[in-house]
Amino acid sequence: MTRLSRRAFLASATAASAAGLLCTPAIAQSSDIVVGTWGGTFGDLLKANVDEAILEPAGWSILQEVSGPVPRRTKLITERMQRRGSMDAALLADFDMHAAAKVGALEELGEETVPGYGNILPFLRKSHSVPLIYSAHAIVYRKDLIPTPPASVAELWNPAYKGRIGLSDFLYTSNMAYAAIANGGTLSDFEGAETGVQAWRELDAKLLPSTEAVGQALASGDIWLTVISAARGYSWRKGGIDLGWVIPEEGAFPAVYEAAVPKNARNAEGGMAYMSALLDPAAQAAFAAKMGYLPTVSNGSIPPELEAEIGFTEAERNRLWQPDLDFIMENQAAMLDAWNRILKG
């Protein structure tokens, strides 16, 4: 019997592992789609309504790569020079996706490559990404504590609410957009935003570390009003908090979540199939029912009673701001710095 020496064993094991590693891209290209996404409820909804309901019956196998949005954007940007990236589809908020598109990291999308692309609502259509859900960062308030709906952005600085204004630390961009609009600035210069944030500090606004903390503070009455997505307001209201939300007369910051295929995706075909599945009316309806986000396609419909709860009127939709994504991309780090210095310094 031939004895396998230790060295021979190590050599064969290394060779076998290397062969296995070399085979991985080929396997990935066949049916695996690696999707960079958020986890939690969002990831579960994708799994149930996109992965298992649409793509797996068609023979695709989905692997969710869960991370925060900034590391995901960083990956898209830093991997763009590599021959093969780590994701076949990536999900991000519109302003993060814009940065990835700007550096040329994303594949161009269209009706030929993504079935259903033609159904995207015109105001959400882009050449390098598809929108999967949208809502608006509205003024969400406790109806029992603020009987008159806060119709203007100025209400966020109403001295009557001193100590009861909540600010999500996570949504500093939207909060600063509100501060800019309230102080005579525009979304292309954010002029006056720092003045508004300083005024929040003087009004003892509560800075909250997470979306969940905002929900808890609204529930306990620690805060009476805040800027957060109307979809969140809907979820929390379903959970029993007496909440209302307003798209102020000056408008509101849109909350759009998008998906794209990296140019260096190992499985571009799978990535495109994923884009198409995200636009499926049934998948979009599931996001609306569970999370309160609105469909982004013209062929997507949600029950009228749900539409009445989470939908925006045409006038409200027309009031949604069109953020200057180039400006945000160029200045986001500076905005975060100013936000931190004023509220945490």
Partner 1 sequence: MAKLVLPAGLLVLLLLGGPMLLMLRYSFNVFDPLFLMKQAFTFENYARAVADPYYQKILTTTILVALACTALTTLLAYGPAYWLARMESRWKSKLTILTMFPLLVGGVVRSAGYLALLSTDGLVNAALRGAGIIAEPLQLLYTPGAVIFATVGIVLPYMILTLASVIESIPRQVEEAAANLGARPGRSFFRVLMPLSLPGVLAGATLVFILCMNAYATPLLLGGPQFQMMAPAVYEQFARASNWPFGAALAFLLLIVTVILTSLGSSVIARRYRAG
Question: Which value, to the nearest 10 degrees, does the dihedral of the CA atoms of residues 320, 98, 175, 65 take?
Answer: 110
Of the candidate spans 73-81, 150-158, 258-266, 307-315, the one that interacts with partner 1 by CB under 8 A turns out to be 73-81
Is 78 one of the binding residues for partner 1 (CB under 8 A)?
Answer: yes
With CB under 8 A, what is the number of residues at the site for partner 1?
29
Closer to partner 1 by Cβ: residue 110 or 345: 345
Closer to partner 1 by Cβ: residue 74 or 152: 74
Q: How far apart are the first and last CA of the chain?
A: 74
Question: Which value, to the nearest 10 degrees, does the dihedral of the CA atoms of residues 48, 53, 56, 62 take?
Answer: -30
Is 3 one of the binding residues for partner 1 (CB under 8 A)?
Answer: no
Which residues, in sequence order, are CB contacts of 57 under 8 Å at separation 6+?
Answer: none
Among positions 74, 113, 158, 211, the unique one binding partner 1 when judged by CB under 8 A? 74
Residues 195 and 287: their CA atoms lie apart, in Å, by 37
Contact 261, 268 (CB under 8 A): yes
Closer to partner 1 by Cβ: residue 100 or 138: 100
Residue 311: alpha-carbon gap to chain centroid: 18
Residues 98 and 294: their CA atoms lie apart, in Å, by 21
Closer to partner 1 by Cβ: residue 209 or 239: 209
Among positions 207, 268, 285, 289, the unique one binding partner 1 when judged by CB under 8 A? 207
Element (H, E) at 244: strand 243-246
- Angle at CA of residue 341, ends 335 and 343, nearest 5°: 95
Among positions 103, 238, 298, 299, the unique one binding partner 1 when judged by CB under 8 A? 103
Among positions 73, 137, 142, 237, the unique one binding partner 1 when judged by CB under 8 A? 73
Q: Which two tokens stand for residue 223?
A: 């805060």
Q: Which two tokens stand for residue 214?
A: 């905002």
Contact 229, 138 (CB under 8 A): yes
Is 199 one of the binding residues for partner 1 (CB under 8 A)?
Answer: no
Nearest to 233 by CA among 249, 248, 221, 215: 215
Among positions 48, 63, 70, 282, the unique one binding partner 1 when judged by CB under 8 A? 70
Of the candidate spans 99-107, 125-133, 192-200, 281-289, the one that interacts with partner 1 by CB under 8 A turns out to be 99-107
Closer to partner 1 by Cβ: residue 27 or 70: 70
Nearest approach, Cβ of residue 74 and partner 1 (Å): 6
Among positions 20, 39, 59, 68, the unique one binding partner 1 when judged by CB under 8 A? 68
Contact 56, 27 (CB under 8 A): no
Closer to partner 1 by Cβ: residue 137 or 230: 137
Nearest approach, Cβ of residue 103 and partner 1 (Å): 6
Binding to partner 1 in span 297-336, by CB under 8 A: 329-333, 336
Binding to partner 1 in span 166-185, by CB under 8 A: 169
At 144, phi and psi to the nearest 5? -75, -20
Q: Which residues pair with 262 in a beta bridge?
A: 106
Among positions 93, 268, 289, 343, the unique one binding partner 1 when judged by CB under 8 A? 343
Contact residues for partner 1 (CB under 8 A)? 68, 70-71, 73-74, 77-78, 99, 102-103, 169, 207-209, 216, 220, 222, 329-333, 336-337, 340-341, 343-345
